[in-house]
Amino acid sequence: MNKEWINVGAVVNFAKDLGSCVKVNGLQIAVFNLPKNNQWYAVQNLCPHDKRMVLSRGIIGDKEGEPKVTCPLHKNSFSLKNGKHVSEGDVDDITTYPVKVKDGDVFLEVSV
C-alpha cells in the first residue's frame, strides 16, 4: 500500500500540551503537540483496552523520559514514540503515525 503525507490543519488548531483528534481517510488519529521541545506525535485514537475513541483526550506525560499518553477511561498508558503499552496489565500496543510540520501546517503520513 502506498503512503502519503496528508495535511491535517494549521499548527494553531492544535492545543498545546494536549491531544487533538483528526479524521484522515476515515481514520481517527490523535495528534499531540508538545511545544516545549517542539515535538509532535500521532497515534491511533482508539484505546485498545476497551476499544473506545478517546486517546486524544488523555493526559500527556512521560515514563522515565519516554513520552506517553494515558487513556482517560482506565489509565492505560502508551508510548507516544513507538505505541508500546507501558502501564500495568496486558493491553495491546497502538499504532503510531509519522508527523511533520511544514509551513505552519501539520502533516501525517498514512496509507492510502
Partner 1 sequence: MNRKNIIVIGNGMVGYKFCERLFNKDTKKQFKIITFCEERRPAYDRVRLSAYFEGKTAEDLSMASIDWYKERNIDLYLEDKIISIDRVNKTVTSSKGKTLSFDKIVMATGSSPFVPPVPGIDKAGVFVYRTIDDLEDIIAYAKKCKTCVVIGGGLLGLEAAKAAQELGLKTDVVEFASRLMPRQVDDAGGEMLKRLIEAQGMTVNLNKNTKNIVGDVSVTGMKFADDSVINTEMIIISAGIRPRDELAKACGVTVGSRGGVLVNSSLKTSDDNIYAIGECVVYGDMIYGLVAPGFIMADAVVEQLTGNSAATFTGADMSTKLKLMGTDVASFGDIEPQDIPCKDIVLNNPHTGVYKKLLISEDGNRLLGGVLVGDAAEYGTLLQIYQNKMQLPADPMSLILPRNDDAESGIGIGDLPNTAHICSCENVTKGDVLDAIENQNCDSISAIKSYTKAGTGCGGCVPMLTDLYQYKMAQDGIEVSKALCEHFALSREEMYQVVRATGINTFADLIAQHGKGTGCEICKPTAASIFASVFNEHILSHAPLQDSNDAFLANIQQDGTYSVIPGIPGGEITPDMLMVIAQVGKDFDLYTKITGGQRIDLLGARLDQLPAIWNILINAGFKSGHAYGKSLRTVKSCVGSTWCRYGVQDSTSLAIELEIRYRGLRSPHKIKGAVSGCTRECAEAQCKDFGVIATEKGWNLYVCGNGGIKPRHADLLASDIDKDTLIKYIDIFLMYYIKTADRLQRTANWMMKLPGGLDHLKAVVIDDSLAINTELEAQMQHVVDTYECEWTSTLNDPEKLKRFKHFINSDDQDETVQFTRDREQIRPLQHSEKGLRDV
Residues that bind partner 1 (CB under 8 A): 8-9, 13-18, 20-23, 27-28, 34, 36, 44-46, 50-54, 57-65, 67-68, 70, 72-73, 75, 77, 95
Residue 2 vs 25, nearer CB to partner 1: 25
Residue 18 vs 101, nearer CB to partner 1: 18
Widest CA span in the chain: 41
Whose cell is 496489565? That residue is 89
Smallest distance, Å, CB 76 to partner 1?
Answer: 10
Instruction: Classify residue 111 as exposed, middle or buried by CB count within 10 Å of its CB (0-12, 13-18, 19+).
Output: exposed
Smallest distance, Å, CB 109 to partner 1?
Answer: 15
Q: What is the residue type of 52?
A: R
Please name the residues in contact with 89: beta carbons below 8 A apart, sequence gap of 6 or more: 49, 76
Smallest distance, Å, CB 75 to partner 1?
Answer: 6
